[in-house]
Amino acid sequence: MATSKKEKTKIKERSKKADKKQKNILEMLKSHGAKIYDDLENGQFPKFSIPSRSVSNIVYDKKLRQYILGTNAAVRSSRNSAQLRSFTQLMWLAFFANRLTHEKKSSTLRDVYYSSQAFAIEFEDQSESDNIIVDLEAVTSKPREDFHIFPEERSSIFGDLTIEYTIPGYEGKTMNLSNHPDGYSIGPSLTTAELVDTSAEIVIAIEKGGLFTRFVEEQVDKKFKSIIINTGGQAPRSTRTLLKRLHEEMKLPVIVLTDGDVYGEHIAMVIKSGSANAAHLRELTVPDAKWVGVWATDIEKYKLPTIPMTESDIKRCYDLQKDPRYQDGIWKKELDVFLKLKRKAELEAFSKYGLTNITDKYLPQKLELAKSL
């Protein structure tokens, strides 16, 4: 199948776009490096400023509908002997990220921890290196995926979506994500790929792998013209990035289906408005994402089998009641009902009415409802 001229131009544009993004990252790292280089050359102790990630500096931005960092920033200076070690670690990480980006090689948090040892950089344990990675994100305001540092893959995607790889060896290659019924894991190559085309009209994010398989089996993608994404519990950041891109680049609405408990509600909230942990980043949220169930009110409505809430479930409810994002709408209402019921229901609870009940009955009702949310 010959590609048309029009298509070729599109491909070029897309690869240009990816190159440009890479170039931007490299430029930014270079400018940081140059500043430090000049400081040293001029006999100055190099330093840079890092936005403070302390609780007191995390504020909720109503306009952005997510948590962001306030204006407090800390200076990390190589003059300060107490900061010298972490300064050097951060310096090394920037250097390492620069190499990764340059060579288009991907790595994981754990890789970074072990790689440090080749350069005589000491990390006490992986959590120390993880922290430095977050420092780099905060300094550059870029997620680590931009530096080719990815989480372990555990979430997956299925549906009619054509992508074009940008990673070395696959550049220009396209792939449709409905060819393999187990779905496609959302890894570095998918995260960095260009989104080319889709016939889908909605993205359904679902909390559990079991239900994801059921949805594929029952051809939810075709029946409801949807892309199905398994978040595998709390959605990883690469998955959240993909959700955001599907929403913004492909103009697809996003709905979220979770277990009927407080943790499920919060999985949906994190997809919608991010987490306090990632308050230093702004490319991870889908503010228009909708949580469609399982709601606390659904438990009674559908007479679902329930299990009692644990003490930690209840504590979590009270914690979330203080969160500014849970002060109105269904978020507040459902939370209050959970607290009243003190019981929860899983997505699998619909199996009580037959294995396909959830796709045949519940999902259509919820999709209909989502339009009015």
Partner 1 sequence: MSSIKEKFNQISPSEFFYSNRDLAGFSNPTRSLYTAVREFVENALDACDQKGILPDVHLTIKAVDPDKSDPKPYILTVKDNGPGIDAEHIPLAFGTVLYGSKFGLKQARGMFGLGATMAILYGQITTNKPVTVKSSVDGATQDTFELLLDIQKNKPVIVKHTTKDISKTGLSVSICLEGDYSKAGNKIRDYVYETSLITPYASITFDDPKEQKFSHPRFVKEIPPPPTIIRPHPHGIDVERIRRMIVESQFEIPIIDDAMIEKVRKDLGLSVKNLSFTVIMDKGKKKWKTLPRQVRVVIALMSFLKMDFEKLNKIRIEDIDMPNKKLFYWDFGDSQSKSVDMDPEGQYYKQLTNTVQGEPLTTFLTKRFQRIGPTTAVKFAEFAGFKPEKRMGTLSNQELVNLSDSLQKFEDFMAPDSSCLAPLGEAPLEKGIKKFFNPDFTSVVQRSASAYSGFPFIIEMGIAYGGDIKSGGPHVYRYANRIPLLYDEGSDVVLKVVNDTDWGRYKVKGEPPFIIVSHICSTRIPYKTAGKENVADRPEIERELRLGLQLLSRKLAAYMSKRGQADMAKKRANLYAKYLPQIAEFCTELAGKKKEPNYKKLLEENAVESKQITEEEENKIGNK
Output 43 or 169, the one with its CB closest to partner 1.
Answer: 43
Part in contact with partner 1 (CB under 8 A); list of ranges 44-52, 237-245, 252-260, 362-370? 44-52
Output 84 or 337, the one with its CB closest to partner 1.
Answer: 84
Which segments of 138-215 are extended strands (E)?
149-150, 156-158, 161-164, 174-176, 184-185, 194-198, 202-206
Output 140 or 275, the one with its CB closest to partner 1.
Answer: 140
Output 129 or 238, the one with its CB closest to partner 1.
Answer: 129
Two tokens, residue 21: 């993004």
Q: How many residues bind partner 1 (CB under 8 A)?
A: 29
Query: 220 and 332 in contact (C-beta within 8 Å)?
Result: no
Part in contact with partner 1 (CB under 8 A); list of ranges 29-37, 197-205, 257-265, 353-361? 29-37
Query: 191 and 242 in contact (C-beta within 8 Å)?
Result: yes
Cα–Cα distance list, 85 to 53, 212, 305 (Å): 19, 45, 55
b (16+ CB within 10 A) / e for 196-221: bebebebbbbbbbbebbbbbbebebb
Query: 357 and 274 in contact (C-beta within 8 Å)?
Result: no
Binding test (CB under 8 A) with partner 1, winner from 66, 69, 78, 347: 78
Question: Does residue 328 belong to the site contacting partner 1 (CB under 8 A)?
Answer: no
Question: Does residue 372 belong to the site contacting partner 1 (CB under 8 A)?
Answer: no
- Of the residues 37, 114, 184, 326, only one is catalytic, namely 114
Cβ neighbors of 51 (< 8 A, separation 6 or more) are 57, 69, 72, 73, 138, 139, 280
Question: Does residue 121 belong to the site contacting partner 1 (CB under 8 A)?
Answer: yes
Question: Does residue 98 belong to the site contacting partner 1 (CB under 8 A)?
Answer: yes
- Minimum CB–partner distance for residue 151 and partner 1 (Å): 25
Binding test (CB under 8 A) with partner 1, winner from 22, 77, 88, 365: 88
Helices (H), the chain: 5-41, 84-103, 109-115, 126-140, 188-192, 209-217, 220-223, 237-249, 262-273, 296-301, 311-321, 329-341, 357, 363-372
Binding test (CB under 8 A) with partner 1, winner from 2, 5, 43, 118: 43
Question: Does residue 95 belong to the site contacting partner 1 (CB under 8 A)?
Answer: yes
Q: Name the pairing type of β-strands 156-158 and 184-185.
A: antiparallel
Question: Does residue 85 belong to the site contacting partner 1 (CB under 8 A)?
Answer: yes
Question: Does residue 46 belong to the site contacting partner 1 (CB under 8 A)?
Answer: yes
Question: Does residue 132 belong to the site contacting partner 1 (CB under 8 A)?
Answer: no
Q: Is 114 a catalytic residue?
A: yes
Which positions lie near partner 1, rule CB under 8 A? 29-30, 32-34, 36-38, 40-41, 43-46, 78, 81, 84-85, 87-88, 91-92, 94-95, 98-99, 119-121
Residues with a catalytic annotation lie at: 114
